[in-house]
Each structure stands twice: as C-alpha cells, then as structure tokens.
C-alpha cells in the first residue's frame, strides 16, 4: 500500500492537469486491485507469475493450481516502484496483479518493467 501512495505522490510531479488525472487513475487502479486481492483470499490468490513465450503467461495459485496460456490484457501501468497488469485465460478467467519492486529480484523486476513498456 505504501508503494501505491508513492506512485500517487509521484503523479503530482506531472505538469498541469495531468497530475490530478493520473493520480486519480492510479488510485482507482490500486483500490480496485486491492479489493480484488481481498476477494481472492486464501487458496485462489496468486503466488507466482511466469512469462513462458512472447505473450504466454502462467500463474501459480496458493493452493498449487497452475493456470497456463494466459494473455496480457491492455491497461498496463509501469512505475519504478511497481507494475500493475491483468492476465486473461481463454475461458475468461482474469487475474489482476500488483507487483511491487521488492516482490522480485532486481533483475527480474527490471525485465518485467522493460517487457511491460514494450509489450510487442
């Protein structure tokens, strides 16, 4: 949650009307992700994420279930402190992920940010 507040604070450094608009969008996205993480407590919470191909993602849930063949959805938010993104399966199952900087090794987080900034 502290990382989210830092992102919202960083948005206020933008010029003009971009500051309040970007702060509002970041706050809504963080609150939505937080709410979804609360609603997916326990066995169905995401424990790990892998990129297996060009756009072939997999997640491992806390109960050990592996969900494969996920596609990256639009609406990625990258910041030096966190990355917000959503994955969807062919059956319509969705996973919204908030990855703070300290949740991955330094090189892994950097690679994730590079991939999200250049999704193709």
pLDDT at position 48, please? Answer: 84
**Boundaries of domain holding 57:** 2-117
pLDDT at position 11, please? Answer: 60
Strand partners, 49: 59
Q: Is the Cα dihedral 33, 36, 38, 44 positive or negative?
A: negative
Cβ–Cβ under 8 Å, residues 40 and 62:
no
pLDDT tens for residues 45-97? 778 888 887 788 898 887 888 888 999 888 888 888 888 888 998 988 888 88
pLDDT tens for residues 2-42? 455 556 666 667 677 777 777 777 778 777 777 766 655 55
pLDDT at position 2, please? Answer: 46
**Total domains, the chain:** 1
Which pTM was predicted? 0.61
Report d(CA 93, CA 90) in Å as an integer.
Answer: 7
Which H or E run includes 51?
A: strand 46-51
DSSP class of residue 75 equals: -
pLDDT at position 117, please? Answer: 82
Cβ–Cβ under 8 Å, residues 97 and 84:
yes
């Amino acid at each position: 949650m502290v990382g989210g507040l830092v992102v919202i604070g960083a948005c206020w450094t933008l010029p003009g009307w971009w500051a309040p608009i970007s702060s509002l969008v970041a706050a809504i996205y963080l609150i939505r992700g937080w709410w979804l993480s609360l609603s997916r407590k326990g066995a169905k919470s995401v424990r790990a994420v892998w990129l297996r191909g060009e756009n072939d993602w997999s997640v491992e849930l806390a109960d050990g279930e592996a969900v494969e063949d996920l596609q990256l959805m639009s609406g990625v938010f990258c910041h030096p402190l966190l990355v917000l993104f959503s994955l969807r399966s062919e059956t319509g199952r969705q996973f919204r992920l908030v990855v703070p900087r300290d949740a991955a090794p330094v090189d892994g987080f950097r690679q994730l940010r590079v991939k999200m900034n250049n999704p193709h």
